[in-house]
């Protein structure tokens, strides 16, 4: 995956089985550096889109059919270690957050969230990108 100069043309992949949740994230997004948003509705579809589009940022739901967010996160990090993954989930226990981080996620945002919380969390993710 090519490094992105100053992170000004980032792609964000939004993974969630709920259309409402996907739209909620897209509508809340207020980051100029994110130039393209793509979506997937389960872990299997997410991996296919991930390999095709090579996004630098991912928001990842956990509870999804076919392949859950933990499995998808593990595979994405294996394919592209520099990807930054923000888990966006309703699962509020510490063990789940710790497991996601162990598998390579870089942050955890609990649903429901405010627009500011989402943008702050993604901004933190972007700072950690190569050339960020």
Segment near another protein (CB under 8 A); pick from 44-52, 60-68, 78-86, 120-128:
60-68
Question: With binding defined as CB under 8 A, does residue 8 bind another protein?
Answer: no
Paired residues of 39 in beta bridges: 14
Q: Which position among 18, 51, 82, 123 is part of the footprint of another protein (CB under 8 A)? A: 18
Cα–Cα distances (Å) from 47 to 52, 54, 58, 123, 131, in that order, read 9, 10, 11, 23, 25
Binder of another protein out of 65, 78, 79, 102 (CB under 8 A): 65
Nearest CA-CA partner of 47 in 78, 6, 89, 24: 78
Among 2, 5, 6, 20, binds another protein (CB under 8 A): 20
Of 38, 26, 6, the residue nearest 129 (C-alpha): 6
Told to check if 75 binds another protein by CB under 8 A, we report: no
Residue count at the site for another protein (CB under 8 A)? 23
Q: How many CA atoms lie within 13 A of 51 on its CB side?
A: 9
3-class DSSP assignment, residue 86: strand
Q: Does 23 bind another protein (CB under 8 A)?
A: yes
- Preceding peptide of 63 cis, ω within 30°: no
Asked if 112 touches another protein (CB under 8 A), the answer is: yes
Q: Give the interface segment with another protein, choosing from 5-13, 15-23, 29-37, 47-55 (CB under 8 A).
A: 15-23
Which residues contact another protein by CB under 8 A? Answer: 17-21, 23-24, 27, 63-65, 89-93, 95-96, 110-114
């Amino acid at each position: 995956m090519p490094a992105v100069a100053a992170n000004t043309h980032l792609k964000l992949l939004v993974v969630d089985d709920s259309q409402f949740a996907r739209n909620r994230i897209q509508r809340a997004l207020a980051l100029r550096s994110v130039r393209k948003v793509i979506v997937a509705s389960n872990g299997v579809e997410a991996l296919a889109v991930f390999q095709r589009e090579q996004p630098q940022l991912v928001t990842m739901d956990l509870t999804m059919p076919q392949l859950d967010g933990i499995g998808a996160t593990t595979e994405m990090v294996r394919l592209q270690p520099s990807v930054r993954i923000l888990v966006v989930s309703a699962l509020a226990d510490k063990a789940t957050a710790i497991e996601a981080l162990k598998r390579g996620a870089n942050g955890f945002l609990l649903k429901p969230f405010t627009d500011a919380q989402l943008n702050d969390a993604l901004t933190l993710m972007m700072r950690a990108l190569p050339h960020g």
